[in-house]
């Protein structure tokens, strides 16, 4: 009995060791050999996918077929995104006030004034001022003309052809910021008045109603003043102002070429005599009040001197 148990006990452990050892080692080796294969297969799959995507993209670009538009975060496409600045400054139209003045010597002031009026009417303007004075060679005319800014040069050239141009001046003033400021203030006041009218309509307290109406009246006055300024600026920008001064040719403006000879000398001598005589008479007239005062003071002095003379002096003279 001992022998067989010993033999069985010896064989049992050997049987387990031989049965379990080799399969476990084969499974471990199999697991280690599978991982490289899986990694290699995954790399091939990824490479094929990326190549397919690149080929599709390249083929789409080459064929001229555009893909779907790229969506931005807000849901719109990238093509619809506005590239302008969100707070870009507003470009204002230039507002310029143009004024001009011209002085012309005319042979016939009345005739040339009518010609100037016709010239302005042809240019699409109007006359807002007409002041005339004098007569004959002393006649003058001052006309205020309103013409479109683009026609100022043409109108000035036409006015210069009326006679002899003596002087001319043109000036421009940029009022863009002033016009923009007035327009903005008018809009703000109008919006403020609308809000005040709404508050007045909803007011239930008498005190609040009186206060709101007083504020409304003040803002309406301010709005009317701004609107008047706005109209004046718009009018000055829309039409340039040209002032025309017409003066007649005076007779004394003609220079006599015959400035020598007996008659010319006699005339010059007479003019000099009159000038000197007028100067002397002017001096005598200016000094006469002082001469009268000096005469009065001298007479008073003589009287005082005679009264102070001693009474014995004449008797002594007679006895001698």
CA-based nearest residue to 102, from 245, 236, 221: 245
Question: Would you give the DSSP letter of residue 241?
Answer: E
SS3 (DSSP) at 12: helix
Which pair of tokens denotes residue 181? 């400021």
Residues 6+ positions from 220 with CB-CB distance below 8 Å: 193
What are the tens digits of pLDDT across the range 53-109? 454 444 444 444 444 444 444 444 444 445 554 544 556 678 899 999 999 999 889
At 100-145, the pLDDT tens digits run: 999 999 988 999 999 999 999 999 999 999 998 887 778 899 999 9
pLDDT digits (tens, 9 = 90+) for 260-272: 667 777 777 888 8
User: Half-sphere exposure of 295 toward its Cβ, with a 13 Å CA cutoff?
Assistant: 6
Query: Is residue 143 classed exposed, middle or buried when 0-12, 13-18 and 19+ CB atoms within 10 A define those classes?
Result: buried
Tokens for 90?
């507003």
Cβ contacts of residue 78 below 8 Å, gap of 6+?
Answer: 69, 70, 71, 72
In angstroms, the CA 192 to CA 274 distance is 77
- pTM for this structure? 0.48
């Amino acid at each position: 009995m001992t022998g067989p148990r010993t033999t069985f006990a010896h064989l049992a452990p050997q049987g387990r060791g031989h049965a379990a050892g080799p399969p476990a080692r084969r499974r471990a080796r199999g697991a280690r050999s599978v991982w490289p294969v899986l990694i290699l297969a995954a790399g091939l799959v990824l490479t094929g996918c990326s190549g397919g995507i690149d080929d599709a993209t390249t083929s789409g670009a080459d064929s001229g077929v555009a893909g779907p538009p790229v969506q931005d975060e807000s849901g719109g496409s990238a093509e619809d995104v506005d590239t302008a600045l969100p707070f870009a400054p507003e470009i204002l139209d230039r507002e310029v006030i143009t004024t001009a003045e011209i002085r012309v010597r005319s042979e016939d002031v009345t005739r040339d004034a009518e010609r100037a009026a016709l010239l302005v009417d042809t240019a699409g303007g109007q006359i807002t001022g007409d002041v005339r004075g004098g007569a004959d060679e002393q006649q003058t005319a001052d006309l205020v003309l309103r013409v479109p800014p683009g026609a100022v040069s043409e109108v000035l050239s036409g006015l210069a052809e009326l006679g002899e141009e003596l002087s001319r001046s043109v000036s421009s003033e940029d009022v863009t910021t002033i016009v923009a400021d007035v327009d903005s203030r008018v809009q703000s006041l109008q919006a403020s008045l609308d809000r005040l009218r709404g508050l007045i309509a909803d007011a239930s307290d008498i005190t609040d109603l009186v206060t709101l109406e007083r504020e409304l009246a003040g803002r309406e006055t301010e709005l009317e003043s701004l609107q008047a300024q706005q109209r004046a600026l718009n009018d000055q920008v829309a039409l340039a102002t040209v002032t025309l001064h017409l003066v007649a040719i005076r007779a004394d403006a003609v220079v006599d070429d015959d400035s020598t000879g007996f008659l010319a000398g006699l005339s010059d001598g007479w003019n000099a005599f009159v000038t000197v005589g007028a100067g002397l008479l002017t001096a005598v007239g200016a000094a006469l009040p002082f001469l009268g005062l000096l005469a009065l003071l001298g007479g008073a002095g003589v009287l005082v001197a005679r009264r102070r003379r001693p009474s014995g002096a004449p008797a002594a003279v007679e006895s001698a």
